[in-house]
Amino acid sequence: MTPEPELTIVVCTYQRAELLIHSLNALAGQTLDPARFELLIVDNNSPDHTAQVVAQFRRDQATLRVRYALEKQQGLSHARNRGYREAQGRYVAYIDDDARADPDWAARILRHFTTMQPQPFCVGGKYLPWYETPPPAWFTDDFETRTWGETEGFLTGKRQRFGLSGSNMAYPKDILENYGGFPTNPGIMQRNLGEETYLNYEIFKSHPERRDRLFYYDPKLIVHHWTTAHNADVAYRLARAFKGGVSIAFIEGSRPTNWLFWKTVLLLGTQLLKYPFRLLIGPGTLKARWLRATQDLYTTVGYLWGSLSGA
């Protein structure tokens, strides 16, 4: 009898068959012993040829454990929840269908869960851009790099509130079961607010006794995330920054009657005072410095807007 895998890698996908195969091929090249992990592709009712791509991949990678699940209920949270419910592994790692994991990605995740004390509630790492086309000269990698620094360890301070996110995160399966997985209520899903951020914030709030021992970050745990030419569009970036602020206000429950709102008002004032200096000092061209500073302003204004409007 074949032993159950220790790690389930869940790839949630929707209508990205051409990109999905790159993600799957990177996972097929993991250094971790194939007996220790499985791949679970959750197809969120794609109208393209995703099912055929997965079927061919399974034939080509006969030595890997590869399973396919069709989740007809639309929405990333529904797909992610289907993933952990069907997972056979004790640990569940999530990666997007447009991301390529470094070869040691799965091995590092499993090692952190099995050796760290106390065991993390979540393990994650760094995102680096994987460009569709060469970006404009002013557009530096940091615009699409998601990092919590170069030091490995549990997130502390302000970083710990929302944990790790997106296409490079893993949880013990029992943690996902205890919290009911990712939220599917309309207030979050219709606004596309960042389901993993909401889940991590719930974990953070419910464990005040060990908030600095919840989310483990490894800067060498790397995925390369597909970055289209649209990501360099200034209007898109500012709209995304504003929406991010609205999202955080919703998740935190910020209102004009609480300290979170007024703390952010003070932050906005500080940002405005520093704004001219940020245009003069910092890496990159003037346009790059302007966009970094302006994105931060839009995020703060989005937070205040979300607080005033009830998100």
Report d(CA 65, CA 297) in Å as an integer.
46
What is the pTM assigned to this prediction?
Answer: 0.94
Report d(CA 190, CA 236) in Å as an integer.
19
Kindly report the average pLDDT of the chain as a whole number: 94
Q: Which residues of 218-229 are buried (b: 16+ CB within 10 A; e: fewer)?
A: beebbbbbbbee
Report d(CA 274, CA 296) in Å as an integer.
11
Report d(CA 233, CA 235) in Å as an integer.
6
What pLDDT is recorded for position 186?
A: 59
Find residue 215's DSSP bridge partners.
122
pLDDT tens sequence across 42-80: 999 999 999 999 999 999 999 999 999 999 999 999 999
Local structure of residue 274 (DSSP, 8 states): H
Residue whose C-alpha is closest to residue 73's, from 205, 210, 181: 181
What 3-state class would DSSP assign to 217? strand
Split at pLDDT 50, 70, 90, the class of 157 is: confident
Average pLDDT (76-105) is: 97
Residue pair 125/219 in contact (Cβ under 8 Å)? The answer is yes
Report d(CA 139, CA 147) in Å as an integer.
17
